[in-house]
Amino acid sequence: LRVPGFRFGAFAAGIKRAGVLDVALVAADRPAAAAAVFTTNRVQAAPVMVSRARVRAGVLSGIVVNSGNANACTGAQGLRDAKAMTRAAAAAVGAADRRVAVASTGVIGVPLPMDKVLPGIEGAAAALTGDGFEGFAEAILTTDRAKKTHVVRARLGAREVVVAGAAKGAGMIAPQMATTLAFVSTDAAVRPAWLRRVLRAEADVTFNRVLVDGDTSTNDSIFVLASGASGARPLGDDDKAGRIFRGALREVLDVLSRLLVADGEGAQHVVTIRVEGAPDEVAACAVARRIATSPLVKTAFFGSDPNWGRIVAAAGMAGVPFSPARVDLDFDSVRAGLAVAGAESGAHDVMRRPEYTVRLHLHAGRGAAQIATCDLGHPYVTVNADYRT
Amino acid sequence: LRVPGFRFGAFAAGIKRAGVLDVALVAADRPAAAAAVFTTNRVQAAPVMVSRARVRAGVLSGIVVNSGNANACTGAQGLRDAKAMTRAAAAAVGAADRRVAVASTGVIGVPLPMDKVLPGIEGAAAALTGDGFEGFAEAILTTDRAKKTHVVRARLGAREVVVAGAAKGAGMIAPQMATTLAFVSTDAAVRPAWLRRVLRAEADVTFNRVLVDGDTSTNDSIFVLASGASGARPLGDDDKAGRIFRGALREVLDVLSRLLVADGEGAQHVVTIRVEGAPDEVAACAVARRIATSPLVKTAFFGSDPNWGRIVAAAGMAGVPFSPARVDLDFDSVRAGLAVAGAESGAHDVMRRPEYTVRLHLHAGRGAAQIATCDLGHPYVTVNADYRT
């Protein structure tokens, strides 16, 4: 895979265990249109603070990333280290320092080992190549079970553009191994202001609609870089070409976000919570999110236990008015509930599938929304508790 | 123990397994001042709907309780059954039907076995005695590991009054075995309007400050009945006697609520999350609650892993502004954090204790609050997942 206008590099700097890629670099041949969304956590890692300020200009020449250490809760030293990373990357690729962003993922509360990070950036810069996408996608991982990439090609008038995404990390997979990071690069030409608006909107219906444990990391970041090297005319509004590009971006973000859930902490099931018949979409989303956050519901998913009462009770915690007696609840195509005797075994069979949908119809309006989540079982506890003791 | 003005009865009706007490009744010799607080879940069990309406008058002659079935998500039949329970209890004790409240706890979404419940109420009424408090406290349990009672005696002027509380159920201990119920009876004389206000305020700093898994049951109820049989003069404001009574009520509710946490789903640690230096008390409470709800923090408690970065990151999700660099974090008397090298083993030792306090000082104001919670470990998953499959 090549994304015209970009080179990718990766290097094993020894931040993680020896020989594993842990520093990544994407460099734009010429300054690219850029947009990003960041964590809403009040505790923001140093790289988030640095990158948030820099992406505001709407133009970036590159992004430097390290895994193995999140550079979060590291105080003034952390900010100095994040800036030193961008300086080193900028120098290595011949870009202005202020045009380079930075992202980190890994352990919280430990200063970056700069004696490894800085040589790592040199190494990643030396490895920059048009073919480097897969290495980049590998170097950003922490304890992910697999690389997470998705590529869409879309025709904009006479030109074809590529939209390539790479992501890491299903929430807080391992102790202090926080963070979702995603990077999308495209050779489409896009006006920065519209790119920012489109990214926000599409992230809201993709990454913001998946949930592993409800914890928001200190480092979550999604970046989009657009080089324009396809030669397609610049996109700047929701005309036909703009809608095609949005569709491609949405597909990339949607697939990446579902890969995150499937790789959640020991997850065995990807469960889509679909709420229909809510007063409006916001209410539907709130109900779906409350169900997806409930430890009682998630342990029932782990045990394939069609505990419909728990799901209705969790829905009742969202503050959205509905009549419990009128609710319809389906596990895929199997109806469950008080009125349906004998559905237990059918619902149990559905819940043994690796993917299924729980559909809750509230009969209280026309709002609908869905959240993808996973089960919470013994593997989650093992991964998250049995770390340093 | 006797609470003058009240008789208690219990009966094994076969709703739970044979021979186990599962119907309870408290009867006031004369109509007693009454107040109650109920679940905030939008999905409310039938007994909650019935009792909420009846307690508004501020006077009750009795409360009938069953365990083993929550009569929740049971529709119109559930409401008919709840009312039939109060009718049977009222007839058995010679009270007006509208002066009897009802509470249920147990499985959700299954109609009450009225062929067992109604004879059970007869049996409990026949067993009514001034000495029946312990049997009552036992009959309201579901899968609790132990009875939860606390009694305080307080001197109001020349008279001594007793405040006796019984509670059940650490949140959703077992699948579909929801519900916290608590019943406080006293021989103090209390004006209903003031009793309602006092109960609300004291429940807010006791039962509303403990958290097992963050799920709110469909049946949660706390009742207070005051007979006035002590002969002490009626309480109706925050004068000296009023303050003494409030203190006694607070102690009863505080001890009962902490017993709930200690008996949480397989809990091995009771952890008090104390937040200081927040902008105000509401903000402090929000931060403490967010920490206590985080599955990542709770699994770290299970593993005795002093993951201070996770706790700070969870605090950041509460939407309260503070500077992460200025936060102080202590496990009992052991300081943890970036600046304290070598504290890991000391903090780990603290976290192996059955009870300890995590103190987070935000240095962002003078607000303080605390929440008591428990760890989330393999026993929680086992209890909640491995039920019917």
Give the confidence band of A309 by pLDDT, cuts at 50, 70, 90.
Answer: confident
Looking at per-residue pLDDT, the higher value among B86 and A295 belongs to B86
Instruction: Report which of A291, A283, A297, A298 is spatially closest to residue A315, judged by C-alpha positions.
Output: A291
**Whole-angstrom distance, CA of residue B282 vs CA of residue B276:** 11
Q: What CA–CA distances, in Å, run from B155 to A197, B163, B230, B244?
A: 67, 11, 11, 8
Confidence at residue B42, expressed as pLDDT on a 0 to 100 scale: 84
**Is residue A357 less than 8 Å (CB to CB) from chain B?**
no
**Whole-angstrom distance, CA of residue B266 vs CA of residue B264:** 6
Which residue in B43, B380, B388 has the most chain A C-beta atoms within 10 A of its own C-beta, making it the best mutation to test that interface?
Answer: B43
B179 is an active site residue? yes
Which residue in A307, A348, A349 has the most chain B C-beta atoms within 10 A of its own C-beta, making it the best mutation to test that interface?
Answer: A307
* Whether A180 contacts A260, CB under 8 Å: yes
Which of A74, A179, A186, A293 does the annotation list as catalytic? A179
Q: What residues does A33 pair with on adjacent strands?
A: A59, A226
Q: ipTM exceeding 0.85?
A: no
**Is residue A315 less than 8 Å (CB to CB) from chain B?**
yes
- Give A336→chain B minimum CA distance, Å: 11
Mean of pLDDT values over A133-153: 92
**Whole-angstrom distance, CA of residue A92 vs CA of residue B132:** 81
Residues B299, A385: C-beta atoms closer than 8 Å:
yes
Confidence at residue B389, expressed as pLDDT on a 0 to 100 scale: 36
Mean of pLDDT values over A110-139: 97
Mean of pLDDT values over A26-45: 92
* Mean pLDDT score of chain A: 90
Dihedral-angle region of residue B277 (phi above 0 means left; psi in -120 to 50 means alpha; beta otherwise): left
**Is residue A43 less than 8 Å (CB to CB) from chain B?**
yes
Tell me how far apart the terminal alpha carbons of chain B are, to the nearest angstrom: 43
Confidence at residue A144, expressed as pLDDT on a 0 to 100 scale: 81
Looking at per-residue pLDDT, the higher value among B109 and A151 belongs to A151
Confidence at residue A342, expressed as pLDDT on a 0 to 100 scale: 63
A143-146, long-range: CB within 8 Å, 24+ apart, which pairs?
A: A143/A169, A143/A173, A143/A174, A143/A177, A143/A383, A144/A168, A144/A169, A144/A170, A144/A173, A144/A263, A145/A263, A146/A259, A146/A263
Q: Where are the beta strands (DSSP E) in B241-309?
A: 270-278
- Give B170→chain A minimum CA distance, Å: 13
Give percent of chain A above pLDDT 70. 95
Q: What residues does B271 pair with on adjacent strands?
A: B356, B373
**Whole-angstrom distance, CA of residue B309 vs CA of residue A67:** 17
Three-state DSSP class for residue A263 = coil
Residues A12, A14, A18, A20: is their CA dihedral positive or negative? negative
Mean of pLDDT values over A246-272: 89
Q: What CA–CA distances, in Å, run from A58 to A230, A344, B381, B382?
A: 19, 54, 46, 50
Q: What would the two tokens of residue B216 be?
A: 């709110």
Tens digit of each residue's pLDDT (9 = 90 or more) over A220-246: 889 999 999 999 999 999 999 999 999
Q: How many Cα atoms within 13 Å fall on the side-chain side of residue A67?
A: 30
Q: What CA–CA distances, in Å, run from B325 to A52, B63, B328?
A: 19, 53, 9
**Whole-angstrom distance, CA of residue A173 vs CA of residue A379:** 11
Looking at per-residue pLDDT, the higher value among B295 and A125 belongs to A125
Which residue in B39, B40, B69, B73 has the most chain A C-beta atoms within 10 A of its own C-beta, making it the best mutation to test that interface?
Answer: B73
Confidence at residue B146, expressed as pLDDT on a 0 to 100 scale: 86
Q: Among all residues of chain A, which has the CA nearest to that of B72?
A: A309
Q: What residues does B166 pair with on adjacent strands?
A: B149, B183
pLDDT truncated to tens, each residue of chain B (389 aa)? 999 999 999 999 999 989 999 999 999 999 999 999 998 888 889 999 999 999 999 999 999 999 999 999 899 999 999 999 999 999 999 999 999 999 999 888 889 999 999 999 999 999 999 999 999 999 999 878 889 999 999 999 889 999 999 998 755 533 344 468 999 999 999 999 999 999 999 998 888 888 777 677 788 889 999 999 999 999 999 999 999 999 999 999 999 988 888 887 678 999 999 999 999 999 999 999 999 988 889 999 999 988 888 899 899 989 899 988 889 999 999 998 776 666 678 899 999 999 999 999 999 999 999 998 989 888 888 877 754 43
Q: What CA–CA distances, in Å, run from A207 to A1, A105, A150, A194, A289?
A: 24, 17, 14, 19, 13
Tens digit of each residue's pLDDT (9 = 90 or more) over A83-108: 999 999 999 999 999 999 999 998 88
Residue showing tokens 């249109």? A33
Tens digit of each residue's pLDDT (9 = 90 or more) over A317-375: 898 999 888 899 999 999 987 766 666 788 999 999 999 999 999 999 999 999 989 89
- Give A107→chain B minimum CA distance, Å: 9
